[in-house]
Structure 1
Amino acid sequence: MDPVSFAFATISMVDICIKRGKDLYERCQAYKRAETELGEATLCIQDYWIKIEHQISALRTVWEALGERLQIHQNLVLQVLQGKLQNAINKFDSLIGVREQISVWDKIISKRGEVKRLKYAAYAKASLDAIIDDLEKWQRMFDPSWFFLARIAVPVIDQQLTGKRAVESKAISTVVQLRQAHEANEKGSTTTSIFLQAGYRIRERESIAFSSASTGRNSDQRVIIDHIPVRKQTDLDIAAKDVRDLARVLSEVDPALFGLLVCQGVIKVRDPSTEEITGFDLIFLIPPELDQRVPRSLRSLLSDQKTKYPLNERIHLAVSLARSIVFLHSSRFVHKNISPENIIVHQPSSDKLGTPVLVGFERFRFAEGRTYMSGDCLWQKNLYRHPKRQGLYPDEQYTMHHDIYSVGICLLEIGLWSSFVNYSDDQKSIRPGSDLPISELIGTKDQRKAAVNVKAILVEMARSRLPELMGKIYADTVVSCLTCLDKNNGGFGDEQEFEDEDGILVGVRYIEKVLFEIEKIVV
């Protein structure tokens, strides 16, 4: 199909979805006089549709700016929406009849008898819940690629996603705010500083075990403090600008979607004796709903083998982590330091897992920013780096592919529920976990060859051990992450094939080959 015809077909798809969505909304109106439980379900369906309609209507106005690969992806996602809306309409028609004028409540009453009425209400509630579940799943499918609009450098997006559209939809306003943060970074213009005043104080500061992050409390709520040291080879002005730009972007994220906390600001850390700046503390706000939960690093959880968590909770943890990488990438930077030490989980109780958030931004950079091509020789850190990104002088510039590789290793640990890095009680001694047979490779002279061998061991562990523990879909997803830079990887292929100015192609592939797959898992 030629580009013009494809664009026309997609716009028509949006129109069809909007028409069916409005039909669904009208059918919900027929339940106004229904019992409270049914009424709440229909309101939930209507709320979902209003959000969806705002987003796909906005998508239609910026369609030409998306680029071919993202257009193809969105077209497939819209086709799924069309099917779900039609199924929802069919369910409503089975409940209330096709375009009948009689009210639902009158039909319930006419069925004579409390038992029949209750049976009907139960059946109706199950049908409505199924519609809600379908719309929720579609929204989760759509949101990752929707937020790519935040990083596409095309003026038409700024022109279309403003004013009334932004006010009506939180999803649209978040994209607008992210784009404005990037624009402020590029122009160096802002009305307020992201750096906190010298008098800003953190009370009740406590370290998080097996993590460089710590917790504390400001005057209003609990926070997480993430320290970024100034590297010796880095110009201080450049470091301050990079941290400022990162903090501005992170101040606009949506914690419920992104797996990232909102950054309140940055504290300049100074040497007490010289007053020289030695680093920066990013202050992340812990949402009120997580305030009473205990923050633990994923490393701490993996190391504590006394508590066994249910399979469904581990799957939820893995999916949440996989999703956070999409939103990180949509915010236009790469993390470069993904490991269980930098994944914080707020536990609702000691025997339950929670949703993870990413910290540990000490090595971050913007996707289009400078890279220092520097590293270290610490095996416990190199373990989470692709073989070509290990050592003091890595072979390749850092890209999103390398974050995907790191995520793959974390997903492998979650699947096995075993820590690949074990610390002594005083954390001075570090050795490979019992499930990771790489001790002989750590001290070998040829570390480049050793890195390749370690990767092969990890891939083999995923292929041989994960299917029995987590299922084939999970195992294949982990392998796809670990081999994302391999030329024979059918999902990602050659990295050069996915290079584009806005960095969209690899993100779309990740959504389709990793995120969509792992979210298929039902426990």
Structure 2
Amino acid sequence: MPAELVLAVVAAADLCLKYGKALTVVYRDIKGAEEGVRSKLLLVEAIWSKTATQVDFLKRVAGVLEEEHCRIHLEILQVLQGKLNISISKIESVVKGGSSGSEVKRWKYARLREAIDDSISELQQWQSIFDPTWYLILRMGNRFIDDELSKQSDELAVETLSLQTSSTSSSGNSALASAQDLRHTLKGDGGSAMHISLPENGLEWETAREVEYSTTILVKRQGSDKVFAVDTISCRAEYDILRVRTDAEGLAKKLKRDDIGIFGLLSCKGVVKRKDADTRRLASLSLVFQLPSAFHNTAVTPVSLRTHLLQERSFSVSRVLDVAKQLARAVSFVHTVDFVHKNIRPETILVFPDHDSGSPSELGSAFLLGFDSFRNINFHTLKMGDEAWERNLYRHPSRQGLQAQEAYIMQHDVYSLGVCLLEIGLWDSFVQYGSSLDDETKREKVPVPGRRLSDGLESVLCEDGDIAGKMKVKDELVSLARSRLPLCMGSRYAAVVVTCLTCLDEDTEEFRGEDMQDEDGILVGVRFIEKVLVRLGEIVI
């Protein structure tokens, strides 16, 4: 890797740390702020504490990163420099000219709150792109990563004690502790002590509730009103049960994280192993997920993305873009922890209303679930499929039908994400459920193609061997993305969708080629961040 690139990353990191410190100093110098403003200032400090810790670590390890990984970090740091400069200018324009140092006149508090809110929003948006890029570092096999994590953690602990810093500094400590935990789990040397096995009788299975148009069910904890989301993997006879169990336990450990929500995923409580009553053979494995803290009781039910898509859109385009970003972050993290999802579609995505959205019509926050087909990326794939056209629609042509043509790789998830992003961008469900049938049949939820899809699509998607026909369906989706999507979401969003849908095309270099087959599996993740996450983050509506 060119030495100039490493030096550029280090210099950019130093500038970000300098500007971030300047921003927090300006905030701390504000005198006589009201309680509401003080709490916002503390939030800015907490956000920056985490960011500064991560940027400092990046500076330490920049020299051992892959060239593309280093380059994308440089681009993202340069964006942060601009955001910090703007935030400093805004806050200084409000506090300057006060009669008592940085004391703010009462009539300026509205502007002050607005400036702080802007800083919080800008930092959080930037962090949502930086986090996936930074966490990719933890995939590297280089021992230097472990040494620097340990070294920086020790230094930060000593600094916190010696300076008796405020509680906001704990954000930096927790960021490193979280990174070390994930690093150990990824390496397979830190998860043995983690408790993820749950008793079958710990949940009231008889009270399980289905979420309409979803693969996930909601189950109450025994003797409590607390509710969990559950995805169940059937242990079919043709499966390698030991491998399935190993995968389920491995995924549970990697998703058992308090901060997982920032990636559009729910924290995994553990795994329930259920045996057949007659044979005592393992019949199923259920992954149990904790709902967001505001939705633990039985009174609130999340809604599947499919349910939303079947209704007329009643919220802003910016909310649709937010969901697209959440789904992209979820896919990125699943890949970062060495798994492929294999089942990304609106039925595997749950949406929770945001309490602070200000309107009941707002879409809310989306979380990727449907972990009933996932696989560790390092393990063999069975190439098994099914004949359900409504599931094959979201699979790449090489993965459709009863017998898939190719082994499953990360790019197949990228394709599935592209179909979902196309669908939510058009806000027109590709799958309808018996809307023209009588009530009795409608309750059976018989799927029929939506109006955007061509006639005869069902049979093409289900036939084995007809790869040409399947490619025509993919071409039809690409055509929709190029011709119709720009009218709904703009040309930049449409370009991201086309990138996802064509990621495995022979004439594209973005996700194909030998350079994507690096030892640590980082380059596909870097390319996904560059071509999908960053480009979605640049869209302003």
TM-score computed with the length of structure 1 as normaliser: 0.89
Q: How many residues align?
A: 507
For structure 2, the residue ranges without an aligned partner over 5 or more in a row are: 158-169, 435-441
Q: SS of 2:284's equivalent?
A: strand
Which residue in 2 is equivalent to 1:453? 472
Which residue number corresponds to residue 352 of structure 1? 362
Q: Pick the aligned partner of 2:512 from 491, 494, 504.
A: 494
Mapped to 2, the partners of 1:52 and 1:508 lie a distance apart of 20
Q: Partner of 1:375: helix, strand, or coil?
A: coil
CA shift, 1:354, in A, is 1.8
When residues 39 and 241 of structure 1 are mapped into structure 2, their CA distance, relative to the original with a 3 A threshold, is closer
The aligned residue for residue 319 of structure 2 is 313
Aligned-partner Cα distance in 2 for 1:12–1:330: 27
Distance 1:38 1:357, change over 3 A: closer
3-state DSSP of counterpart to 1:267: strand
Q: Which moved more, 1:224-233 or 1:374-383?
A: 374-383
Does 2:398 align with 1:388?
yes
What is residue 263 of structure 1 aligned with on the other side?
268
- For 1:24, the equivalent position in structure 2 comes to 23
Checking the alignment, whether the CA contact within 8 Å between 1:211 and 1:342 is kept in structure 2 is yes
1:224 aligns with 2:229: yes
Q: Mapping of 1:321-336 within 5 angstroms?
A: 321-336=327-342
C-alpha spacing 1:101/1:49, structure 2 compared with 1 (3 Å): farther
Q: Partner of 1:104 in structure 2?
A: 102
Residues 419-498 of structure 1 correspond to what in structure 2 (within 5 A)? 419-424=429-434, 425-427=442-444, 429-439=446-456, 442-443=459-460, 447-489=466-508, 492-498=510-516
**Counterpart AA for 1:462:** A
Q: Per the alignment, do residues 376 and 20 of structure 1 end up closer, same or farther by CA in structure 2, a change over 3 Å counting?
A: same
Residues 425 and 488 in structure 2, CA contact (< 8 A), matched pair in contact too: yes
* Equivalent residue number for residue 112 of structure 1: none
Moved more, 330-339 or 13-22: 13-22
Aligned partner of 1:111 in structure 2 is none
* In 1, Cα distance between equivalents of 2:120 and 2:276: 55
Q: CA–CA distance in 2 between the matches of 1:244 and 1:445?
A: 33
Provide the rounded CA distance (Å) in 2 between the counterparts of 1:189 and 1:252. Answer: 12
**SS at structure 1 position matched to 2:302:** strand
Instruction: State which of 205, 208, 213 in structure 1 corresponds to 2:211.
Output: 208
Q: Identity over aligned residues, as a percent?
A: 36
Q: Give CA-to-partner distance per residue, 1:459-478, whole Å, 9 cap, x none.
A: 11111111112222222221
- Measure, in 2, the Cα distance between the counterparts of 1:428 and 1:157: 50
SS in 2 for 1:485: coil
Counterpart-to-counterpart distance in 1, 2:190 and 2:528: 32
Letter of the 2:306 counterpart: R
Letter in 1 for 2:102: V
Structure 2 distance, partners of 1:263, 1:126, is 36
Query: How much is the aligned-residue C-alpha RMSD, in angstroms?
Result: 2.7
Alignment partners' CA distance in 2, 1:39 and 1:253: 26
Matches within 5 A, 1:143-158: 143-158=131-146
1:158: Cα distance to partner?
Answer: 2.1
Letter in 2 for 1:344: L
CA deviations 1:237-287 (Å, max 9, x no partner) are: 222222111211121362321211111111112222222211111111112
Which range moves more in the overlay, 374-383 or 442-451? 442-451
1:445-468 per-residue CA deviation (whole Å, 9 max, x = no partner) reads 862111100001111111111111
1:83 is the counterpart of 2:120 = no
Match of 1:372, SS state, is coil
Report the Cα distance in structure 2 between the residues aligned to 1:401 and 1:375, rounded to whole angstroms.
17
Q: Which amino acid aligns with 2:178?
A: T
Q: Is the 8 A contact 2:184 2:191 kept in 1?
A: no
Structure 1 residue 334: deviation in Å?
0.8
Match for 2:417: what amino acid?
Answer: V
- Do the aligned partners of residues 223 and 11 (structure 1) sit closer, same or farther apart at CA in structure 2, a change above 3 Å counting? same
SS of the residue aligned with 1:266? strand
Q: Which runs of 5+ in 1 are unaligned?
A: 109-116
Q: 1:192 & 1:327 partners in 2: Cα distance? A: 20
Equivalent residue, structure 2, for 1:294? 301
- Separation of aligned partners in 2, 1:505 and 1:182: 17
The answer on whether the counterparts of 1:32 and 1:39 sit within 8 Å (CA) in structure 2 is: no
Deviation digits for residues 481-510 of structure 1, max 9, x if unmatched? 1111124346x1534332211221121222
CA contact (8 A) 2:23 2:88 kept: yes
Aligned 8 A contact 1:298 1:340 in 2: yes
* Deviation at residue 39 of structure 1 after TM alignment: 3.5
* Secondary structure at 1:377 match in 2: coil
Distance between the aligned counterparts of 1:200 and 1:39, measured in 2?
43
1:126 aligns to 2:129 (yes or no) = no
408, 417, 432: which is aligned to 2:427? 417
Moved more, 504-513 or 125-134: 125-134
**Secondary structure of the corresponding residue to residue 419 of structure 1:** coil
Letter in 2 for 1:31: I
Structure 1 residues 23-32 or 328-337, which shifts more? 23-32
- For 1:414, the aligned partner's letter is I
* Shift in CA distance, 353/18, structure 1 to aligned 2, threshold 3 Å: same
Matched-pair contact (CA < 8 Å) for 1:319–1:519: yes
Q: Take 2:60 and 2:485, find their aligned partners in 1: how far apart are those partners? A: 44
Residues 347 and 26 of structure 1, relative CA distance in 2, 3 Å threshold? closer
CA shift in 2, pair 1:29/1:373, >3 Å:
same
C-alpha separation between the residues in 2 aligned to 1:495 and 1:295?
A: 41
